[in-house]
Amino acid sequence: MFFWDSTMVLLIPAILLSIYAQFKISSSYKHYSTIRSQSGLTGAQTARSILNSNGLYDVRVEPIRGRLSDHYDPRTRVINLSEDVYQGISLSSVAVAAHETGHALQHASGYFPMTIRSSFVPVANLGSGAGPILIMVGLFMPSFGWLLDFGILAFSFAVFFQIITLPVEFNASNRALALLQEGNMLGSEEVRGARSVLNAAALTYVAAALAAVLQLVRFILISRGRSDD
């Protein structure tokens, strides 16, 4: 949790991977943000073109504040692109916009992992917020020790959410690269740059999933340690 004990060493691999992933996405995004796409399309135009070619005329593309704050909202059917991506004509802008459009295509086609993930959002949010609190109460208040197991169960839903996110993100990236090639929006050399950006972004999700799994294992070990006392 938030205090040090011997089980903390389990989190070291996830921490190191997370640091590397953040460095990788930052460096890759920054590098390819300086390289203009040959098509000259902005991120917004890229997304709109892909949406229209797939008949998704009702999905909107809108700018949003923040850096790397891009996301697709299935509730409103809106692709939100950070201002740099929305207006940018770089390989990074095109790649990120295509990736988020990939999520819109997943939603439209009823992509099963995305359907599961969307339905798990409320439970996952509750588990990630309440789980650690219940675990802490169960640890420090023996009379409420049952809360420890209940907290672990709640946190496991948040872990499942992180795991199911992986195929959703990988599939969106694969769709994006295929669509960019099929639509002749990027040349073969440019696709390599776009792939570098999307692979770096995917690594951040891998790091988050690993951290969640290892944290869950840590909680279970702590619970078993208390049972043996």
* Residues acting as catalytic residues: 100
Q: For residues 104 and 78, give the distance between their C-alpha atoms in angstroms, rounded to a whole number.
A: 8
For 147-160, give one letter per residue: b (16+ CB within 10 A) or e.
bbbbbbebbbbbbb
Q: Which amino acid is at 204?
A: T
Q: What is the largest CA-CA distance in the chain?
A: 66
Contact 27, 204 (CB under 8 A): no
Handedness of CA 40, 42, 48, 50 (dihedral sign): positive
Structure tokens given for 122: 């409320």
Task: Give the relative orientation of helices 91-109 and 112-140 as an angle to the nearest 10 degrees.
Answer: 100
Residue 130, C-beta contacts closer than 8 angstroms, at least 6 positions apart: 151, 154
Residues 96 and 173: their CA atoms lie apart, in Å, by 9
Task: Read off the tokens for 126.
Answer: 């509750």
Which helix or strand (DSSP H or E) is residue 72 part of? strand 71-73
